[in-house]
A and B are shown apart, each in its own frame.
Chain A
Amino acid sequence: MANGEIVAGFLAPHPPHLVYGENPPQNEPKSEGGWEPLRWAYERARKSLDELQPDVLLVHSPHWITQVGHHFLGVRHLSGKSVDPIFPNLFRYTFELEVDVELAEACCEKAAQRGLTAMMMRNPKFRVDYGTITTLHMIRPQWDIPIVGISANNSPYYLTTEEGLDEMDTLGKATREAIEETGRRAVLLASNTLCHWHFHEEPDTPEDMSREHPQSYDGYKWDMRMIELLRQGKTAEVFRLLPQFIDEAFAEVKSGAFTWMFAAMGYPELPGELHGYGTVIGTGNAVMEWNLVKAGLAGAAAAPPSAAGDRAAYAGAMR
């Protein structure tokens, strides 16, 4: 089926603290809460995602780093326990997910056609990275929508930032083509923090919010400047400033997800909806949405009844 489309993109950062603060049954460590403004931001994003009724969620994660090319999860069912190597005290999460392998293969093929090195990950024992899992949990804790997981090739770090982000731009365009040609109704998730200056020690009680604040005032000001531009829909200006933002705020968007998502959406000059902003161990995190349906840049807000029915059946199969 052709005529697929991207219905929305979300900036969907992945601090495992948000899962820890929420206390879902999948996560072993238990908290007294914490990071509520960001978690409430995700609640709003969840509601919006629910209304969009996508067939698939595509996530580009900076914690699956690859040196040789851009990789795509290519195993239909993946499960296991994800323990964050940086915050194992906060995130030990039992997951089970379904991959839209057909779309992943199409993305891979389109990326290769555009000159990128691209490959499928076919190993069923592969450990899905915690960035992918955290973003997916926070946006859709039901785990009832198939996903496509995309690695962060290290080109922005190995080459120059600009050369690396050029690759992400190409990857985004390839992703869009694949979505259109496979007929999917897709939501893109850029799993990125903004300013990434962070504390070097953790409080004894990680969720003690009296200890949470921006690590860097300059980084905070950069975040506000970029968010305000995004809220105004000044996308071209955001991308003009992006290399400077990356350098001065040590912004995690360097890893490529943000560029990938905007390239796939065609860099719309569309005001983004800020669901919320907050810091996590000092880093700046914004949950933002670009709803292409509401903007009239994609099809109807509700998926056809058949899609909703398919998803209900899928959720049943997952249980």
Chain B
Amino acid sequence: MTAVSAFLVPGSPLHLLRPDNPPWRPIVAGFERAARALAMSRPDAVLLYSTQWIAVLDALWQARPRLTGAHVDENWHDYGDMAFDIRVDTDLAEACVNAVKAAGISSKSVDYDQFPIDSGTIVATRLLDPDGRFPLVMAANNLYHDAATTMRMAEIATATARAQNKKVAVVGVGGLSGTVFREPIAIEEDRIAAEEDDTWNRRILRLLEKGETGRLDAEVENYAREARVDMGFKHFAWIRGAIGGRIFGARVHGYGPAHGAGAAVIEFRL
């Protein structure tokens, strides 16, 4: 298998910008453990899909060799800005565009100065790879793509990496349950906003830990709908597509809230 490690991580800026807030510590600590695992897997590139990079035409792939700047989140602007310095494996990105296009999914690369990099991508790269050791291949979340299309894209991206003789880490960036607090809260009292969401999240995390692919197949759709999961849990579909579909188990490095929504740092067993 080309994938040497795989992670599902949250993309909320809160964990990056206020890492010492007690309710957010489990996620930050989880990122620290995942970062060590990522480094040990020594990938040639990271295939990253963030639910917050939205596309509506085509499947978009980032193809600018280096992206630098400081981003202010649309929601959490009062928490400060997030500097980023991201390298892109442009050979692999362009090859992914062509391969995905050849599979019948309209696909394009983007290579523009000051293209807006989404918060999720920045959070994930800052916390998973703080030294910027590994180049990325970044795919957008086309709102009209379903889970099957997302899986197919990841599968093609992994195969394309294999054709270039590259080992890849796979990262899906997105949240779990989506019920949020709609008013400001005392952040030191943050928690999963709805008890039913918490129950759902924990159930899915247990199934992931145990590698119960069949039960996940049966439950993910309900989970996504009933717990208002971030973008229908397509970031999970990205990981599944990249690692061959079957889940062999996972380690939950951290679970907690992001202003009421669910968040987890998960490392998949390969």
Contact residues of A with B, CB < 8 Å? 64-69, 71, 80-81, 83, 85-88, 92, 117, 119, 121-123, 125-127, 129, 151, 155, 158, 198-202, 281
B190 within 8 A of A: no
A141 to B108, CA, bound (A): 31
Docked-complex contact B58 and A127, CB < 8 angstroms? no
Is residue B71 within 8 Å, beta carbon to beta carbon, of the partner chain? Answer: yes
B120-153 contact mask (Cβ, 8 Å, vs A): 1 or 0: 0000000000000000000000001000000000
User: Contact between A68 and B74 (Cβ–Cβ < 8 Å)?
Assistant: no
**Residues of chain A lying within 8 A (CB to CB) of residue B110:** 88
Q: Is the interface of B mostly helix, strand, loop or mixed?
A: loop
> Does the CB pair A127–B57 fall under 8 Å?
no
Provided the pairs A123-B80, A125-B70 are in contact, do residues A85 and B75 lie with their beta carbons within 8 angstroms?
no
CB distance from A40 to the nearest CB of B (A): 26
Binds A, one of B38-46, B161-169, B178-186, B197-205: B178-186
* B54–A66 CB distance below 8 A: no
- Residue of chain A at shortest CB distance from B228: A158
Please name the residue on chain A nearest to B111 by beta carbon.
A88
Q: Quick one: which of B53, B72, B80, B184 contacts A127, CB cutoff 8 A?
A: B72
Would you give 8 A-B contacts (Cβ < 8 Å), ordered by A?
A67-B182, A85-B53, A85-B115, A117-B183, A117-B184, A125-B70, A125-B81, A200-B57
Compute how far the CA of A126 lies from the CA of B114 in the bound complex, rounded to whole angstroms: 13
The answer on a CB contact under 8 Å between A158 and B182 is yes
Q: Mark B44-56, 1 if CB is under 8 A from A, else 0.
A: 0000000001111
With both beta carbons as reference points, the residue of chain A lying nearest to B112 in the complex is identified as: A88
CA distance A200 to B114 in the complex (A): 24
Q: Is A126 touching B72 in the complex (CB atoms < 8 A)?
A: yes
- Closest residue to B77 on the A side, CB-wise? A123
Candidates B54, B77, B112, B259; contact of A126 at CB < 8 Å? B77
CA distance A71 to B181 in the complex (A): 16
In the complex, A199 Cα to B106 Cα: how many Å? 12
B195 within 8 A of A: no
Q: How far is the CB of B108 from chain A (nearest CB, A)?
A: 9
- Within 8 Å CB of B182, what residues of A? 67-69, 117, 155, 158
**Closest beta carbon of chain B to A314's beta carbon, Å:** 26
Q: Which residues of A contact B80 (CB under 8 A)?
A: 123
Contact between A85 and B116, CB atoms less than 8 A apart: yes
Nearest CB on A from B61, distance (A): 12
Taking a contact as CB atoms closer than 8 A, the residue among A81, A86, A202 that contacts B114 in the complex is A81
The answer to whether B78 and A86 touch across the interface, beta carbons within 8 angstroms, is no
Measured in the bound complex, the distance between the Cα atoms of B181 and A158 in whole Å is 11
Q: A127-B116, A200-B57 are in contact. Are A122 and B183 (CB under 8 A)?
A: no
Separation of A125 and B72 alpha carbons in the complex (Å): 7
Known: A83-B114, A86-B54, A281-B57. 13 other contacts (CB 8 A): A65-B74, A66-B74, A68-B259, A71-B77, A81-B113, A85-B115, A88-B110, A88-B115, A121-B78, A122-B78, A123-B77, A123-B78, A129-B74
In the complex, what residues of B have CB within 8 A of residue A198's CB? 56
Taking a contact as CB atoms under 8 Å apart, the answer to whether A119 and B183 are in contact is: no
Which residues of chain A are within 8 angstroms of B144 by Cβ–Cβ distance?
200
What are the interface flags for B1-40 relative to A under an 8 Å C-beta threshold, 1 for contact and 0 otherwise?
Answer: 0000000000000000000000000000000000000000
Closest A-chain residue to B58, C-beta based? A201
Do B58 and A121 have beta carbons less than 8 Å apart?
no
CB of B44 to closest CB in A, whole Å: 27
Given A64-B74, A92-B112: A85 touches B54 (CB 8 Å cut-off): yes
With A125-B81, A201-B106 given, is the CB distance from A67 to B75 under 8 Å?
yes
Q: Which chain A positions have C-beta within 8 A of B72?
A: 123, 125-127
| Residue among A68, A83, A122, A198 having the largest count of chain B Cβ atoms under 10 Å | A68
Please report the C-alpha to C-alpha distance between residue A199 and residue B56 in the assembled complex, in whole angstroms: 9
Given that A67-B180, A68-B181, A86-B54 are known contacts, is A121 also in contact with B77, CB under 8 Å in the complex?
yes
B116 — which chain A residues lie within 8 A by C-beta?
83, 85, 127
For B115, the chain A residues whose CB sits under 8 A away are 83, 85, 88
* Chain A residue nearest in CB terms to B56: A86
Q: Which of A68, A126, A155, A202 contacts B57 (CB 8 A)?
A: A202
Contact B78 A119 (CB under 8 A): yes
What are the residues of chain A within 8 A of B77 when measuring CB–CB? 71, 121-123, 126
Q: What chain B residues lie within 8 Å of A127 (beta carbons)?
A: 71-72, 116
Q: Are A151 and B74 in contact (CB under 8 A)?
A: yes
Chain A residues lying within 8 Å of B81, measured Cβ to Cβ, are 123, 125
Identity of the chain A residue whose Cβ is nearest the Cβ of B54 in the assembled complex: A85
Which of chain B's residues 216-243 have a Cβ closer than 8 Å to chain A?
none
A117: B residues at CB distance < 8 A: 182-184
Contact B57 A201 (CB under 8 A): yes
Contacts of A151 in B (CB 8 A): 74
A194 to chain B, nearest CB (A): 17
Please measure, in the bound complex, the distance between the C-alpha atom of A191 and the C-alpha atom of B46, giving whole angstroms: 38
Smallest beta-carbon distance A157→chain B, Å: 11
Alpha-carbon distance A64/B110, docked complex (angstroms): 22
Give chain B nearest CB distance to A87 CB in angstroms: 8
Instruction: Give me the 5 closest cross-chain CB pairs, A-B, nearest first.
Output: A123-B77, A126-B72, A88-B112, A117-B183, A81-B114
Which residues of chain B have C-beta atoms less than 8 A from A67's C-beta? 75, 180, 182, 259
